[in-house]
Structure 1
Amino acid sequence: MSREHDLPQPPSRRLLLKSAAAAGALTAASAVPGVAHAQPRRAAPYENPLVRQRADPHIHRHTDGHYYFTATAPEYDRIILRRSRTLGGLSTAAESVIWRAHPTGDMGAHIWAPELHRIGGKWYIYFASAPAEDIWKIRIWVLENAHPDPFKGTWVEKGQVKTAWETFSLDATTFTHRGTRYLCWAQHEPGLDNNTGLFLSEMANPWTLTGPQIRLSTPEFDWECVGFKVNEGPYALKRNGRIFLTYSASATDYHYCVGMLTVDADANLMDPASWSKSPTPVFTSNDTTKQYGPGHNCFTVAEDGRSDVLVYHARQYKEIVGDPLNDPNRHTRVQKLNWNADGTPNFGIPVADVVKEGT
């Protein structure tokens, strides 16, 4: 969630037209004669938007059979949780405020992009925030809750995740691979002409980094540098002998899009040369379905426990008046993630909104 402003240059029309054509092909291929009522559900099995005015969404499917949802509230002043036994149920699930910004000092402003993780029998929330008196001094912070139910117990402030530099940093995510826990995040690297790149480090515990911190990616392609030079919002998905690390790029208006890094599961994750970067975005705005600025995604699984689900936010209109950060209408959305024959993810396009009867 970088601080972006409206910019006049649109993303590549070639990419948008290519995505729209692919959407038409997929819709035609999925048609099943004689099953008129089943067709809409096959094309869009979830009702979108899933949760309105909740950006940077994170959904964790826990072993208790529940989906746990958190996201950025447009007031940037609190951390919320929802819970449901189904993904669709998150739309109407009761929302609880489990932590609020401090009135003064650290963690007092810009409460952004919380992620909920279960680590070592405890709950952890990673989020970005700034001091109330210095609202762009944004850093990564961690909360811990030892209660089995994250809606209960006490959320303890474990402090700031200390990185190599005291610079603008945000959007931390964590994952394990072959017994090692990693943190990936976005940060401004001193001396580089960009806003944020992506970094990776091993962890000594859920709030402490250890060993070297490597740069995985920096904005270099045109589609990563529209308005602001941004790589942010990383999230890992392990499938088919590889780790796919998605991230978001460019301004948070309709230029916002998703890129992807890939590494072989047998490679050394802490060697930057092990990672390859897709030269084109994997998920972009779409004029046909009228979804703009899709990004800051994560992944979960469907109720069947097998089908992968893409979770992201997007707006329903292209033009924004003023600073996009002051526009509250980034809505949480979900859709099935498909797979190509070579084992790589096929994101498709952001699906159109579901129009309910009577609306």
Structure 2
Amino acid sequence: MPPQPCLNITSKPTPDPHFTYAHGKFYLTFTANDRIPMWEAPTLLDFWENPKIGPVWRPPPNTPHSSRLWAPELHALQGRWYIYYAAADPEKGNKSHRMFVLGGPPDSEDPHDASKWEFLGPIKGMDQRQWAIDGTVFELDGELYLVYSGWPVPPEREWDDVREDQQLLYIVRLSDPTTAASEAVEICRPDQPWEHLGHIGICEGPQWLEAPDGSWRGLVYSCSASWTKHYKMATLKCLGGDPLSPESWKKSSKPLLQNAEHGEGPFGPGHGCFLNFGSETVALFHATDKDTDGSQGRKCRLQIVEWCDEGPHLGEVVGNSTRDHDKFSEGLMLSVPDGKGADTDGHPSCILHALRGKTKSNT
């Protein structure tokens, strides 16, 4: 199957985009380094020119968590809003990155209110000696889990001897949104050529993805070097059983999404998130316009996920970039499954509604 067109969502850089839908609006957070930003808009297309913009939190200066704030994610868990993100000590730099949590208002309230957010600190119970970034939280079979990217745990936990050229994925069970209830378990390491750039092997940016009918569950993660055009995404299928067992996860044999060979871009697709609308799924990820952009100019793009017997499919390569949402919408499922404009979870019931704020029957 050929890839769907790639729809441009933001006109400004929004690296590591993470979207949440609640209260009739979409909320976007992304890496901004010195703050936790939050944008909101009634439709996905409104993020191009008309989002409401404003940070919800800035760390106090010169604290061990006031630098390089990366990959924030907004989650409604157990009745409250939380934001998970990585941050570093400005005096120590990247090697000091650890995972932190902010607590917000009840999830019945709008999260875009800076006065209602508080710093809750690092995730309690995590080994604070390990470098950790890109944490994501999801619920699986009634339990909460955190998956993050970390440098390898050295033998005998000799933390002065850490490989900084390798990033692995680890999973931790949570007893509540801010407390770890297990040791961290490695579930993915860069053992494939396409996860490497030279001697550097990277697995990061994990995101939970589940088919609308529950036929496939697992993680999509990013790999190779995020500062190059070689960045890409792959999958870890959840096979069932104990998620804390490495045998419960199966890596894909090839990338889920990467550059197209025609060289026209977008380039370096990675570190996105996924939204289900009724029976439809979209991937929202960052990519650059030029193959030489590096870490600059990483803007949010949208591409349709097609579900096959093997699981998610994105055409294997990034589709041609467009802002023509009418052209993009051709061939999509445009009907409203329940006839009310929203599914039972309150999400827009079709992709077109999410894009333009209205539905259109295909009959």
Relative to the length of structure 2, the TM-score reads 0.79
Matched, 1:311 2:284: yes
Misfit runs of 4+, over 4 Å: none
Give, in angstroms, the shift of residue 51 of structure 1: 4.5
Name the SS of the counterpart of 1:337 in structure 2.
strand
Q: 1:287 Cα shift?
A: 4.1
Aligned twin of 2:328? none
Find the aligned partners of 1:59 and 1:114 in 2 and give their Cα distance.
10
**SS in structure 1 opposite 2:139?**
strand
Alpha-carbon distance, 1:295 to partner: 0.3
Counterpart Cα distance in 1 of 2:322 and 2:276: 21
Paired residues in the alignment total 305
Q: Deviations over 1:235-281 (max 9, x none)?
A: 111223331211111111111111111013x4221211121111211
CA shift digits 1:328-359 (9 cap, x unpaired): 2000111211111x1510012322222569xx
Cα distance change of structure 1 residues 66 and 105 upon mapping to structure 2, 3 Å threshold? same
Aligned to 1:345: 312
3-state SS of 2:296 partner? coil
Alpha-carbon separation, structure 1, partners of 2:319 and 2:18: 19
1:331 aligns with 2:305: no
Q: Which amino acid aligns with 1:133?
A: E
- Letter of the structure 2 residue corresponding to residue 170 of structure 1: I
* 2:183 maps to 1:212: yes
Supply the distance in 2 between the matched residues of 1:55 and 1:150 (Cα, whole angstroms): 21
For the pair 1:273 / 2:257, whether they are aligned, the reply is no
Matched, 1:175 2:138: yes
**2:209 counterpart of 1:237:** yes
How much does 1:190 deviate? 2.9
Distance 1:47 1:291, change over 3 A: closer
On the 8 A contact 1:51/1:333 being kept in 2, the answer is no
> Structure 2 CA distance, aligned partners of 1:215 and 1:328?
31
Confirm or deny: 8 A CA contact 1:215 1:272 kept in the other structure. Answer: yes
The normalised TM-score by structure 1 is 0.80
- Paired residue secondary structure (1:196): strand
Q: Which region of structure 1 is more displaced relative to structure 2, 229-238 or 88-97?
A: 88-97
Contact 2:267–2:290 (8 Å) recurs in 1: yes
Q: Please, which of 171, 184, 188 is the counterpart of residue 147 of structure 2? A: 184
Output the CA distance in 2 between the equivalents of 1:56 and 1:346.
21
Q: Are the counterparts in 2 of residues 216 and 272 from structure 1 also a CA contact under 8 Å?
A: yes
Q: Distance in 2 between matches of 1:95 and 1:207?
A: 27
CA distance in 1, matches of 2:307, 2:70: 31
* Cα deviations by residue, 1:203-248 (Å, 9 ceiling, x for unpaired): 0111111123211101111111214211100011122333121111
Please give the alpha-carbon distance, in whole angstroms, between the structure 2 residues aligned to 1:281 and 1:89: 30
Correspondence 1:72-151 to 2 at 5 A: 72-73=31-32, 76-91=33-48, 92-136=50-94, 137-147=96-106, 148-151=109-112
Taking a change above 3 Å as real, the CA distance of residues 134 and 352 of structure 1, as seen in their structure-2 partners, is: same
Query: How far, CA to CA, are the matches of 1:355 and 1:150 in structure 2?
Result: 29
C-alpha spacing 1:58/1:85, structure 2 compared with 1 (3 Å) = same
**Gapped regions of structure 2 (runs ≥ 5):** 155-161, 326-363
Q: Secondary structure at the match of 1:317?
A: coil
Q: Is the 8 A contact 1:61 1:301 kept in 2?
A: no
Say whether the 8 Å CA contact 1:50–1:334 is kept in structure 2: no
Letter in 1 for 2:248: S
Find the aligned partners of 1:145 and 1:313 in 2 and give their Cα distance: 26
- Report the secondary structure of 1:133's partner residue: coil
Distance of 1:224 and 1:175 partners within structure 2: 24
Match of 1:67 in 2: 26
Structure 1 residue 165, shift from structure 2 partner: 5.2
Listed as ranges, the matches of 1:246-257 within 5 Å are 246-252=220-226, 253-257=228-232
* Aligned-partner residue type, residue 176 of structure 2: N
Give yes or no for contact 1:108–1:130 (8 Å, CA) kept in 2. yes
Change (3 A) 1:220 1:133: same
Give me the identity figure in percent: 28
User: What amino acid is aligned across from residue 21 of structure 2 in structure 1?
Assistant: R
How far is 1:296 from its partner? 0.4
Is 1:259 paired with 2:231? no
